[in-house]
Amino acid sequence: MDRISELPKEILQQILYFLSQEDAVRTSVLSKSWHNIWCTRPNLDFSEATFNGSKQEFLSLVDKNLQRYCDERMCVKEFGLCISLDESDRESVLRLENWIRALTDMGTKKFCLSIRSESEHGSEFFHLPSVVFEVAESLQDLHVEKFTLDQKSFERTILSKHLKELHLENVYINNKDFQRIISCCPLVETASIKSCKGLQNIKFSFYKTPYTEDERCSIEINPPSYIQTIYITNGDLKFHKGADFRNLEYLYLRRVTTSWDHLSWCKFPSLKLLVIDNCDRLKESRIFIDAPRIICFDYRGDFIPSISFATTTPGRRYSNTRVTYMPSDDATTWFFKLNELLESLSRFITSLSIYQYSTNDGDVIQENINLLQGINGCNKPVAVESLWLDCHLFSFSSLLNGALSVCRPRIIDAFFFQGKMDHIERVWKILTERESGDEERLWLQDLEEVSIEVEDKNGEGWHPIT
């Protein structure tokens, strides 16, 4: 007898744990000691798609195996099931309900269910049995195809709080019921939505403590779909190259990682609003947005992205761009990239905000005439609606100098203006010293008009002080 066969039963079961159901059954011919070991392994996996037999034989096979584990009071740590259902086949639905309840009684820790309707047309989709969400507390992986998910699918409390993967294909589900599933299943790490009807808005915020890059929720949305709004926070969104999001109107991406290069090949013919908020991996890409009807673009980040837009239809468009200048940034490169971004947004009415978090005078932008000539020699300053500077007062002159070398704002505002007349007076002095001969303020030579207004605290509007 081989030495492996002499190992304790518990170790042999652990060996079988890593084999598929079919391979585990084949071990029964190895020797007498292996003959029935496969019948007691701690994990079971049944797939109707790969079963060579009738539907009734498949149901009986699952029944007999679960009954044996119950009779011998054995634990099924993991259970996988791939099955198709038909609303007219009430027997299959009842058996599924009984199996799920049996797994709950046996203390199953991990339950993976792939369930597909045999209906051929969307109008014939029937409701996913409520037992899936209401009883299967150990459910971790759920694949649903050709079903309706609504209040009948979870009339009571959703207990599937351990769900980690959710895949919906050709499913009818509305916004409210989708959000209910997501809110009741906080551990979801992967979500895939393909050709689902009724679902127009997706709001997915993934927060996990401790939070690491590897713990981002993976989300896949496959067109064609009826999705009009996508709102993703802290997720990994998968864009398929060449996808046509024909109905999408609002796209919010906050701290999202994605296949940014693939985004350039996607089409967004109905997109009106695009928000990109602190998406760090965008720094490595140069993207093109094919959204001819876009009305508003909102960007916030610690770096200047390389983004361009397709030719847009006539109409007013708005951009809110908020970028941070870091002490470690090279001034010439940083402002050159800013000029490129503003050029790509030249068809937008742009509000530009620049934040500089410095701690001492050494962090002030190093200005010189070469910086200004180097930038202005390539591109002309771009007209923008407003410029907001958030920096220390001692940095204001240098930061403004750099900003005005790449843009011409109609309105300039700053964080330290609010309620501090001495600061306002100092800024006024900076702006009006045209004849100082200071090369650092070369941009002042073509400054056409300067005026300062203050807002009355009593809400009576703005008043000029010059």
CA–CA dist 169, 100 (Å, integer): 22
Higher pLDDT, 433 or 280: 280
Residue 368 has pLDDT above 50, yes or no: no
H or E element in which residue 430 lies: helix 421-432
Cβ neighbours for 47, distance < 8 A, ≥ 6 positions apart? 21, 80, 81, 82, 114
**The two three-digit tokens of residue 400, written as one number:** 């403004």
Which of 50-54, 61-65, 290-294, 444-448 ranks highest by mean pLDDT? 290-294
Closest CA to 290 of 351, 243, 322, 253: 243
**The two three-digit tokens of residue 455, written as one number:** 């807002």
Q: Identify the residue whose tokens are 């790449």.
A: 406
Q: Alpha helices of 27-159 — where are they, by DSSP H?
A: 55-71, 90-105, 131-134
Q: Which of 100-114, 361-375, 420-434, 436-450 has the lowest mean pLDDT?
A: 361-375
Q: Which of 68-77, 133-142, 297-306, 433-442 has the lowest mean pLDDT?
A: 433-442
Q: What is the pLDDT of residue 21?
A: 66
Cβ pair 265, 240 in contact under 8 A? no
* Interval 129-142 mean pLDDT: 81
Is 409 strand, coil or helix?
strand
Q: Is the dihedral of CA 279, 280, 281, 283 positive or negative?
A: positive
CA–CA dist 259, 194 (Å, integer): 18
* Interval 324-351 mean pLDDT: 89
Closest CA to 244 of 266, 228, 260, 225: 266
Q: What is the pLDDT of residue 442?
A: 46
CA–CA dist 290, 266 (Å, integer): 7
Q: Tell me the residue type at 127.
A: H
- For the chain, the distance separating the N- and C-terminal CA atoms, rounded to the nearest angstrom, is 102
Higher pLDDT, 27 or 414: 414
Residue 361 has pLDDT above 70, yes or no: no
CA–CA dist 11, 3 (Å, integer): 12
In eight-state DSSP terms, residue 215 is G
CA–CA dist 466, 408 (Å, integer): 21
Q: Tell me the residue type at 51.
A: F
pTM across the whole model: 0.71
Cβ neighbours for 261, distance < 8 A, ≥ 6 positions apart? 285, 287
Q: Please provide residue 217's backbone torsions phi and psi, each rounded to the nearest 5 degrees.
A: -70, 135
Q: What is the pLDDT of residue 6?
A: 63
Residue 34: which pLDDT band, with cuts at 50, 70 and 90?
Answer: low
